[in-house]
Amino acid sequence: MAKKHPHQHFLNRELGQLEFNRRVLAQAEDESIPLLERLRYLCIVSSNLDEFFEIRVAGLKALVKLSGITTNPDGMSAGQTLKRVCEQAHQMIERQYLLFNKHITPALAEQGVRFLRRTHWNEAQQAWVKDYFFREVMPVLTPIGLDPAHPFPRVLNKSLNFAVELQGKDAFGRTQARAIVQAPRVLPRTILMPPEISGCEHGFVFLSSILHSHVGELFSGMEVLGCFQFRVTRNSDLFVDEEEVKNLRLSLQGELPQRHFGDAVRLEIADNCSPQIAEFLMREFELDPEDIYRVHGPVNLVRLMGIPDMVARDDLKFPPFAPGMPSVIQKKGADMFKAIRKGDVLLHHPYQSFKPVIDFIQQAASDPGVVAIKQTVYRTGADSALMEALIAAAQRGKEVTVVVELLARFDEEANINWANRLEEVGAHVVYGVVGHKTHAKMLMVVRREDGKLKRYVHLGTGNYHPRTARLYTDFGLFTANEEVCGDVNEVFGQLTSLGKARTLNHLWQSPFTLHSQVLAAIRNETRLAKAGTPAHIIAKMNALLEPETIEALYEASQAGVKIELLVRGVCALRPGVKGLSENIRVRSVIGRFLEHTRIFYFRNELKHDVYLASADWMDRNFFRRIEVCFPVLDKKLKKRVLDEGLKAYLQDNCQAWDMTDDGSYHRKPARRGNTRCAQQQLLELLAAPTIKLA
């Protein structure tokens, strides 16, 4: 399809992801946020950047190697994008470590939470560290002296390692000057020193400091000239040709171990690393100078993520809360089937509990009237009460069908393990459709009532993962609506069997109808605006990238449609461009919880159509995944979604960032006494009332 708009009307995806991480980093810089939470945000930035390099940067490097000249909708080639990404990533990481060293670390020290550097250890601390090294560290280390018989070892992705420069001869008369020490992953990266030794309430020692201090013990009789920590990030995208393999699970199991040894894409080294060691490592990993990131501090900041949980200081963390429960199922042991028969039930996580979803499937597993359970699994975690309930249901003789997405990135191993356990108890396990990830969130229970079979369904915008349901904002809907349940049953049939896609009553589904239905709804608002009828679109999602959808939004804006977009992450659309998008506003809300909800609202001549979805407006979600978008039909619940999921965020003046036409974001400070924070308001509205919120 010929592009209707020039390249300059689209923003770059990779640069947009870095822009998102700048907004997360701003949370770590915000002094109004509790101190340990600021540290956590700092670690989240590192974790996000790890995946960014493992997937997006790795992909760019692969394209450059292939000499590909293909450009993205923004007009930039892979090489041009990679150059800009490297420049901005270096700036961001420098800013991150400056914040860690100059602001967060000193502020924590004032609160009795200290990172004890080896240059400041007293005699008692040195003695404790020495004892810890010989007792806990040295027995599990395997130093590798580099010589013709000991080549450079295979370094695991994102592992902590040390390059050591040596002088002298060993027991065999060898004079090799270099060695590599790999820190085993079983060793903690931060160790809590006893208060009576550390001199503070919470004193932590980095494993890197312990190794630095005693690395000479590993090379008896030789002089250590230098010891430098490093960490390599590798391409972690799995390649499994689904069209060629006979058994996807077996092929994936064979591919997973190789993820740790993909091509290197980034090298992080200590800022005091000698030029010769830096050059040596760069050659070993076949990297360029711009791929080297010198950092002042630990090369693996992600490993500090656990510090807030190790420090018993509630005053340095977000205040705790207990998720609320809808009144219809508030009573302990409430019959979920009876409640759903009375009317649709809406859950807004994390403000409301995920427990009703667990109760629903546990009741289904033990209910003699239930004959079948079907569920999709994308991410559910290594320890899941939901999956255990499915296993129990299968053991009780119920028909259990689970569509497991084996290619859920970084959750492949957990999903394979669940697939194995489910098959062992007789459940039907399928892996969706070749070439299409199953990303839809669907759960269906079939129950015999009064001699007839009745279906109950749960549909969601987020994963069936109890832990992330405490951290991510999502909606879940229970319904016994016969037409909606029939649609869900049809989608399950597509996933497990063969045949043509039938027309659905209410659901929009990828890869068949979701894209065309979204375009049709946008164009309907455009038509109404041209006819002089007020038209309005509000959409909330994680990412907006698909060009044809963006073009349709531009056309709607030019027709006079009011368009408000809440896009947490990457947005390729340019808002506020005169003659193109002056009626489009784009906001990103970054707060305590990860905004994960997908909501689409179309005014449609006061019909106020509201849809919830598992899909963002991206090429992959429209064309390469199984997704479902479902309407909220109950008027009261529709109003709740509008008020809680959209209006509260459009009115936020604390955690919302407004996007400009160049892709940058700005946060305007709220006037004193007039603050509106959507997430805090929703906690006060929906969380359990017995908890006093700050």
Q: Which tens digit of pLDDT belongs to each residue from 168-224?
A: 776 556 556 889 999 988 999 999 999 999 999 999 999 999 999 999 999 888 889
Residue 324's pLDDT is 95
Q: What is the pLDDT of residue 662?
A: 94
Residue 464: name the closest of 440, 432, 481, 434 by CA.
440
Per-residue pLDDT reduced to its tens digit, 590-613:
999 999 999 999 999 999 999 999
Lowest mean pLDDT among 100-104, 111-115, 140-144, 257-261: 257-261
Better-predicted residue by pLDDT, 75 or 116: 116
Domain 7-316 in CATH 3.40.720.10: no
pLDDT for residue 259 is more than 70: no
> 554 and 582 in contact (C-beta within 8 Å)?
no
Q: At 280, list the tokens.
A: 């040596």
Same fold, 327-506 and 509-686: yes
Quote the percentage of the chain above a pLDDT of 90. Answer: 73
Residue type at 61? K
C-alpha span between 191 and 420 (Å, rounded)? 36
The pLDDT tens digits of the residues spanning 306-363 come to 999 999 999 999 999 999 999 888 887 789 999 999 999 999 999 999 999 999 999 9
- The stretch 547-571 carries a mean pLDDT of 97
pLDDT for the residue numbered 101? 96
Angle of CA points 292, 293, 297, to nearest 5°: 145
Is 688 buried (19+), middle (13-18) or exposed (0-12) by CB count in 10 A? middle
CA angle 508, 513, 516 (to 5 degrees): 110
Give pTM, 2 decimals.
0.91
Low-confidence winner among 72-76, 459-463, 567-571 (lowest mean pLDDT): 72-76
Give the whole-angstrom CA distance, residue 608 versus residue 597: 18
Average pLDDT (505-534) is 97
- Calculate the CA 310 to chain-centre distance: 23
The pLDDT value recorded for residue 173 is 61
CA separation for the pair 411, 571 (Å, rounded)? 26
Once rounded to an integer, what is the mean pLDDT over residues 526-538? 98
pLDDT value at 468 more than 70: yes
Q: Quote the CA–CA distance of 515 and 551 in Å, as a whole number.
A: 13
CA angle 535, 536, 541 (to 5 degrees): 150
As a CATH number, domain 327-506 is 3.30.870.10
- In percent, how much of the chain has pLDDT > 70? 90
Instruction: Check residue 557 and give its pLDDT.
Output: 98
Residue by residue, DSSP assigns 234-281 as E-------TTT-S-HHHHHHHHGGGGGGS-EEEEEEETT--HHHHHHH
Residue 68's pLDDT band, with cuts at 50, 70 and 90, is low
Average pLDDT across the chain, whole number: 90
687-690 own/partner pairs: CB under 8 Å, 24+ apart? 687/321, 687/322, 687/323, 687/324, 687/351, 687/352, 688/321, 688/322, 688/323, 688/324, 688/325, 689/324, 690/322
What average pLDDT does this structure show over 55-84?
85
Task: Give yes or no for a contact between 13 and 545, defined as CB atoms under 8 angstroms apart.
Answer: yes
Omega before 511 cis (within 30°)? yes
Question: Quick one: the chain helix, strand, coil %, rounded to 5?
Answer: 40, 20, 35
Residue 255: per-residue pLDDT: 45
Mean pLDDT of 533-550: 97
User: What is the spatial distance between Cα 189 and Cα 439, in angstroms, rounded to a whole number?
Assistant: 34
Active-site annotation, residues: 439
Contact between 562 and 635 (Cβ < 8 Å): no
Q: Measure the CA–CA gap between 543 and 680, rounded to whole angstroms.
A: 23
Could you say which DSSP state residue 599 is in? E
> How sure is the predictor about 426, in pLDDT bands with cuts at 50, 70 and 90?
confident
* Secondary structure, 3-state, 356-377: HHHHHHHHHHHCCCEEEEEEEE
| 3-state helix/strand/coil string of 503-560 | CCCCCEEECCCHHHHHHHHHHHHHHHHHCCCCCEEEEEECCECCHHHHHHHHHHHHHC
Residue 100 has pLDDT above 50, yes or no: yes
The C-alpha angle 416, 417, 423, rounded to 5 degrees, equals 90
How far separated are the first and last CA of the chain, in Å rounded?
53
The domain segmentation of the chain, as residue ranges, is 7-316, 327-506, 509-686
Q: At the fourth CATH level, which superfamily is domain 509-686?
A: Endonuclease Chain A (3.30.870.10)
Residue 364 has pLDDT above 70, yes or no: yes
- Mean pLDDT along residues 412-422: 75
- Structure confidence at residue 395 (pLDDT): 93
- The DSSP-derived string for 1-21 is ---SS-GGGB--HHHHHHHHH
In this model, does residue 243 exceed pLDDT 50? no
Cβ pair 256, 48 in contact under 8 A: no
CA angle 279/293/212 to nearest 5° reads 75
> What pLDDT does 564 receive?
98
